[in-house]
Amino acid sequence: MANGNDSPLKKTWIRLLKNKPAIISLVIISIAILLAIIGPSIAPDKSPNADDQILELANVSPGFSTKVLMVQKNREEKSPNIFSRILFGTENPNEMIPISSYSFDDSANIVLQAYKGEGRTAEKMTIPMADVVYALSITNTSIKVNGSQTSFATYDDKQKTATIAELKKDIEQNRIITKTYHLGTDGYGRDILSRLLFGVRVSLSVGLIAVLISLTIGIFMGSVAGFYKGTVDNIIMWLINVIWSIPTILLAMAIRFAIGDKIPSFLAIFIAVGLSMWVEVARLVRGQVLSVREMEYVQAARSLGFNNTRIIIKHILPNIIGPIMVIAASDFASAILIEAGLSFVGIGVKPPTPSWGTMLNDHRQYLTVSGKAFLALAPGICIMVMVLAFNLLGNGLRDAFDVKGKTV
């Protein structure tokens, strides 16, 4: 039996903890939130938007491994702060060259058999060892070899001398790595796993902002309609019914087209998705307000002279928070689906920002290609898991807040 001193919130939490599907969903959502925050710092491809392209490795299968030579780019190195690295990733300072084999010649060069793709002949390349290890000057490109030493100008036009043995050791220990693509690559040679991790952020961000927009508008409109009734209620309900008659995805598309390129595409998606979902919240809130506006505690607040705004905010809304939380979870799932749908048809988040919907659209032709279906299935499964998690959490919240006939 429940302790008589337990608060309603504590009782609700205890009931939620007994709902295993809801708790599993909550764990999945928590992991997704964590990945959205630290994804760039743990992704195999830590470049912004996981957009490091290696065209020679396009469409490789999951688990593919190859040796890669990292050649220092001839430009100034930037060192972003730790906050920037965690949230946005770090620009790759190296050019990545897949190789089949390599050797060193007597002129301080590394000789490569560059991998050009499955079934293609490897291409021989010769690169000065100094150019692999250091960012060299773009004006003074002379590299001099004198016995066991080599001298050259770095990017800041300072002269530097290094032994061939030092360069060779640096290359073998730090510049030649084995790169494994656990989920394969896309048609541009980008790591699928990394782009999925970045895509979590897009889906959760759109869901969060869209839900906040829909809740703000929906709670306001529903509260006003339910509390004042009469003409105000009729006008608001007419508007709700008109918007309700338009399919959500079509409404979101229309809003997205109306916004156009006046604001960044990411912000436009937030607004389009949020404005397409508020009617559900408004209908729910209106019904809840109508059911409690004649309650004794509301009448008591009126008799004490409280104004209508205070009565709605302080007395009515706190008592209908349960149903609002349930529909918020449901709307979160809907927002993820709508964003994926908009990105799938090409009017969502713009490349190179990775979105699960965009990834699904880019690779839908591979669904019927043997061994390549994973390119479309991977983002599709991510969308399915996140939507299912929020729906199951919503069901759990619904059962937890419905206290009729339940004991804890």
Mean pLDDT of the region 26-31? 95
Nearest of 407, 297, 276, 278 to residue 341 by alpha carbon:
276
Domain edge (last residue) among 172, 190, 208: 190
Are both 136 and 207 inside the same structural domain? Answer: no
Would you state the pLDDT for residue 70?
94
**Number of residues that this document lists for the chain:** 408
Q: Is 288's pLDDT higher than 70?
A: yes
**Mean pLDDT lowest among 248-252, 280-284, 382-386:** 248-252
Q: Is 354's pLDDT higher than 60? A: yes
Domain match, 274 and 361 both: yes
Q: Are residues 98 and 204 in the same domain?
A: no
Tell whether 12 and 84 lie within a shared domain: no
**Domain co-membership, 71 together with 30:** no
Nearest partner of 278 among 340, 236, 320, judged by Cα: 236
Are both 308 and 280 inside the same structural domain?
Answer: yes
Give yes or no for a contact between 178 and 170, defined as CB atoms under 8 angstroms apart. no
In 55-159, alpha helices (H): 82-88, 129-133
Q: In this structure, are 166 and 200 located in the same domain? A: no
Q: Residue 159 class from Cβ within 10 Å (0-12 exposed, 13-18 middle, 19+ buried)? A: exposed
pLDDT in tens, 130-145: 999 998 888 777 888 8
Please give the model's pTM, rounded to 2 decimal places: 0.83
pLDDT at 405 over 80: no
On the question of pLDDT at 337 being above 60, the answer is yes
Contact 326, 396 (CB under 8 A): no
Residues 160-200 have pLDDT tens digits of 999 999 999 999 999 999 999 999 998 899 999 999 999 99
Query: Does 23 score more than 80 pLDDT?
Result: yes
| % of the chain surpassing 90 pLDDT | 43
What φ, ψ does residue 96 adopt, rounded to 5°? -95, 120
- Percent of the chain clearing pLDDT 70 (strictly above): 94
Q: Given a cut of 50, is residue 406 above it in pLDDT? A: no
Residue after which a domain boundary falls, among 135, 162, 190: 190
Arithmetic mean of pLDDT over the chain: 87
Read off the amino acid at residue 228: Y
pLDDT band of residue 261 (cuts 50, 70, 90) is confident
Residue 5's pLDDT is 54
Same-domain check for residues 286 and 392? yes
As a whole number, mean pLDDT of residues 65-73 equals 93
- The CATH number given to whatever domain includes residue 233 is 1.10.3720.10
3-state percent breakdown (helix, strand, coil) of the chain, nearest 5:
60, 15, 30
Q: Is 20 exposed, middle or buried (0-12, 13-18, 19+ CB in 10 A)?
A: exposed
How does pLDDT run across 291-304, given as a tens digit for each residue? Answer: 898 888 888 888 88
What's the rounded Cα separation, in Å, for the pair 35 and 242?
39
Least confident of 38-47, 76-85, 167-176, 273-282: 76-85
Domain end (from 190, 222, 249): 190
Does residue 67 contact residue 129 with C-beta atoms inside 8 Å?
A: no
Q: Which residue in 361, 369, 381, 375 sits closest to 59, CA to CA? A: 375
Per-residue pLDDT of 179-188, as tens digits, reads: 999 999 988 9
Mean pLDDT of 373-377: 86
Q: Which domain holds residue 249?
A: 8-34+193-401
Span 330-345, average pLDDT: 90
pLDDT of 4 above 70: no
228 and 96 together in one domain = no
Banded pLDDT at 404 (limits 50, 70, 90): very low
Please indicate, yes or no, whether residues 152 and 201 belong to a single structural domain of this protein: no
Per-residue confidence (pLDDT) for residue 278, from 0 to 100: 93
The residue assigned the tokens 């419905």 is: 402
14 within a domain of the structure (yes/no): yes
Residues 336 and 225 in one domain: yes
Q: Which residue from 155, 180, 229 is spatially nearest to 68, judged by alpha carbons?
A: 180
What integer pLDDT is reported at residue 30 of this predicted model?
95
Residue 55 falls within a domain, yes or no?
no
Q: Examine the domain organization and report whether 184 and 218 are in the same domain.
A: no
Q: Please report the pLDDT score of residue 363 as a whole number.
A: 87
Number of compact structural domains in the chain: 2
**pLDDT attached to residue 408:** 34
* 223 found inside a domain: yes
> Under a CB-based contact definition with an 8 Å cutoff, are residues 155 and 135 in contact?
yes
Question: Six-digit token pair at 156?
Answer: 């800041």
Give me the helices (H) in 171-320, please: 192-228, 230-244, 248-259, 265-275, 278-292, 296-303, 308-310
